[in-house]
A and B are shown apart, each in its own frame.
Chain A
Amino acid sequence: MSLNKDFGEYGGQFVPETLMNTLKTLEREYLEYCSTDEFKNDFIEYMRQYVGRPSVLYYADRLTKMSGGAKIYLKREDLNHTGAHKINNAIGQALLAKHMGKTKVIAETGAGQHGVATATVAALFDMECEVYMGVEDIERQKLNVFRMELLGAKVIPVSSGTGTLKDATNEAIRTWAARAEDTFYIIGSAVGPHPYPTMVRDFQRIIGDETRKQIMDTEGRLPDKIFACVGGGSNSIGMFYPFINDKNVELIGVEAAGRGIETGEHASAFAEGRTGILHGMKTYILQDEDGLIKTAYSISAGLDYPGVGPEHSYLKDSGRVIYTSVTDDESIEAFKTLCRYEGIMPAIESSHALAAALKEAPKMRNDEIIVVNLSGRGDKDVHTVAKYLGKKF
């Protein structure tokens, strides 16, 4: 038994031969173990008792009245343990690692959220943990580096390339190729070689599955539009996937337009319409005419990635998901709005999804329904927002 390694023409396994058997073993173990009742019960139990799921689907009354259109619901992934959706996937992969008898886990991280989630599960399951992080990101996210260290993880600085998330991912893959015999690589987004994009989606689909049930319970029908931000695309694919066959539900993925697509300083993998290979997958990518990967830019470290998960590329071409983008300025405006109107401080990543939703809501009727995936909380971003607003401490 095996899974399809491709999403249409995207996905695949563009990795060195030294990793191929490792990936095949991973795929087999994933298929066999993660379909058992034992795994499913364990996973759900950790989701309930440890993560605090189900996360609420909150009706944002003041925000709805302010925008004067569709009813706005927020899926509160920010209320999860560790403050974002990343923990869902980290628990799933750590359970698999444990089942496979691995004693060490490694991870890449950009802003540090996935690094913190991995360090957390490593502590929980008593595993050694190394987190690869670009030197630029270490500088920008000192608090998260210390959080990971408090949790017992070792943070490995990566100075190659641009010293950011894409380089940390390269280094994690290189390390894994050398140490796969006792080490499990917990990838944080729906990216990488097969089976990672599928596996991460399956661990994150709990977001969409819960949302579906919750909106049916409160509204008796499915929403008209669902918004989620897209960096690598794990919170969005987790939210969208259970709604793919509901053709009346419009799905909108929101990328980071940074300082504006036209400035070239952005993180929208779809903006330039080129497909290429990065981190073992074929997908839409920012690259030059020689195939060199371009540096992405966004105020949000979690969206600052030059590629996108391969299933999103497939969903873009098929037209099932509409992809749009939101600038730094627009996302910060949405961040402030949610703070003031609902007393909720969202992650800047999630503020991108919110900004796109707030543009749409006033154009819709007040019996229509919007769901925004609030993928993480904004405490980690307070410094970035302060700097953006010119506030000094």
Chain B
Amino acid sequence: MNRIDEKFKIMKDRGEKAFIPYVCGGDPSLEYTEKIIYALEEAGCHIIEVGIPFSDPLADGPVIQAASLRSINGGFKLDKFFDTVKNIRKKSNVALVAMVYYSTIFGYGKEKFINNCLDSGLDGIIVPDLPYEEYDEISALIENTDLYCIPLIAITSGKRMPTLVKNSKGFIYCVSSLGVTGERKTFDKRIFSFINRVKEETETPVCVGFGISSKDDVKLFEKDADGVIIGSAIVRRIFESDGDLDKLKSFIKEIK
């Protein structure tokens, strides 16, 4: 069983919603990323999204752009990233989902990339610049494997939504608002009815991300969605906490 399914089953049995933190891989080093992942798991996170830094991250706001740049300048390499995932797998059964631009997958070589995901023990990938229309770039490589490609949907998906969530696996990444990742003060009002329309369309869990940064935001979305994804708010705290993982853990406990 894919670990994402396994974790959602555990959470469902306990009546919990998913709290999915995002960390930028290699910010500031892969050794540190590994430690963060253990800390997040200890803080009660079952699924963790790990960003693979890209030079031109179209879907990301300033916080994750800056983290990506720190990681790249710190010498991030995909080969080392996959080694890190292998190391984590020796000690942890947390579900790991990579957020990776298709530019990276294609530039590295898509066969090699997908094989390394499977070998190292990643459970899913989220590819923000690979919309449904381009999915045939990798579909043949992923079908019949245990790696899930998590679909992204947005309120602007409109009539496309049923097609996008059909045959989905793991969970659905529902983008809370238009634009890029990053903390926000307000959300588009249309999102709540949209989440419910998605849930009518599919059995796959629906998680909401982009702009979620506080306990209030988490509560706001947990009413309708099966989970939330928190990126920039965590990346910012990791940067500010300067290596103090206890600070990160208490932030997670505070808003979870």
Contacts and interface: CB of A to CB of B under 8 A. Distances in A.
Contact of A276 (B57, B103, B133, B156): B103
Interface string A305-336: 00000000000000000000000000000000
Nearest to B153: A17
B104 A17 contact: no
A290 B178 CA distance: 29
B104 A177 contact: no
Nearest to A277: B103
Contacts of A175: 179
A5 B136 CA distance: 14
A173 B104 contact: no
A20 B106 CA distance: 20
Given A21-B158, A173-B58, A280 B129 contact: yes
Interface residues of B, number: 42
B149 interface: no
Contacts of B56: 161, 166-167, 170, 278-279, 293
A48 interface: no
B134 A13 contact: yes
Nearest to A276: B107
B232 interface: no
A179 B104 CA distance: 27
Interface in B44-84: 54-59, 61-62, 65, 69, 72, 76-78
Contacts of B108: 289-291
Contacts of A160: 62, 65, 69
A197 interface: no
B157 interface: yes
A293 B133 contact: no
Interface string A259-277: 0000000000000001111
A18 B107 contact: no
A14 interface: yes
Contact-residue size bin, chain A (C-beta under 8 Å from the other chain): 35 or more
A289 B134 contact: no
Interface string B163-180: 010000000000101111
A38 to B, nearest CB: 29
A178 interface: yes
A166 B55 CA distance: 10
Given A14-B130, A15-B58, A22 B106 contact: no
B179 A17 contact: no
A274 B108 CA distance: 11
B61 to A, nearest CB: 8
B186 to A, nearest CB: 13
B77 A290 contact: yes
B152 interface: yes
B77 to A, nearest CB: 6
Contacts of B157: 17, 20-21
Nearest to B159: A21
Max chain B CB contacts within 10 Å: which of A18, A22, A174? A18
User: Which 9 A-B pairs have CB atoms at the shortest separation, nearest pair first?
Assistant: A291-B107, A178-B179, A277-B103, A291-B104, A18-B154, A292-B55, A293-B55, A14-B129, A16-B59
14 contacts: A13-B134, A14-B102, A16-B128, A16-B154, A17-B132, A17-B153, A17-B154, A17-B156, A18-B154, A18-B178, A20-B156, A160-B65, A174-B58, A174-B180
Interface of A: 5, 12-18, 20-22, 160-161, 166-167, 170, 173-175, 177-180, 274-280, 282, 287-293
Given A274-B107, A277-B107, A293-B103, 10 more contacts: A13-B131, A17-B154, A21-B156, A167-B56, A177-B178, A276-B103, A277-B101, A290-B108, A291-B54, A293-B56
